[in-house]
Amino acid sequence: MKARATAMADAVDEQVSRSLTALKARTVRRWSDVLTGIGIARSVTSTVERHMATAVTYVVNDTLQMTVRMVGGMRLWIAEADACVTCSAYSGLLADAGTSFPGGLSWDPGQRADGADRIDSPPVHPRCRCRVLPWLPRWSAGQVPLPLHLQRQARSNIAHGHARPSESRAARIRAAAELLRSGVDLPPDVRAAAQRAVRSRRFAAA
Average pLDDT for 108-128:
89
Question: Alpha-carbon torsion 183, 188, 192, 194, what sign?
Answer: negative
Contacts of 170 (CB under 8 A, 6+ apart): none
3-state SS, residue 134: strand
Residues 123 and 28 both lie in one domain:
no
Residue 177's closest CA among 108, 102, 85, 78?
108
Sheet holding 131-135, edge to edge: 94-96, 74-78, 131-135
Q: How far apart are CA 48 and CA 28, in angstroms?
A: 27
71 vs 138, more confident: 138
Q: Does 199 score more than 90 pLDDT? A: yes
Per the domain annotation, does 206 fall within a domain? no
Residues 82 and 172 both lie in one domain:
yes
Which amino acid is residue 94, in one-letter code?
L
Domain count, the chain: 2
Q: How far apart are CA 79 and CA 42, in angstroms?
A: 30
43 vs 147, more confident: 147
pTM of the model: 0.70
Residues 76 and 149 both lie in one domain:
yes
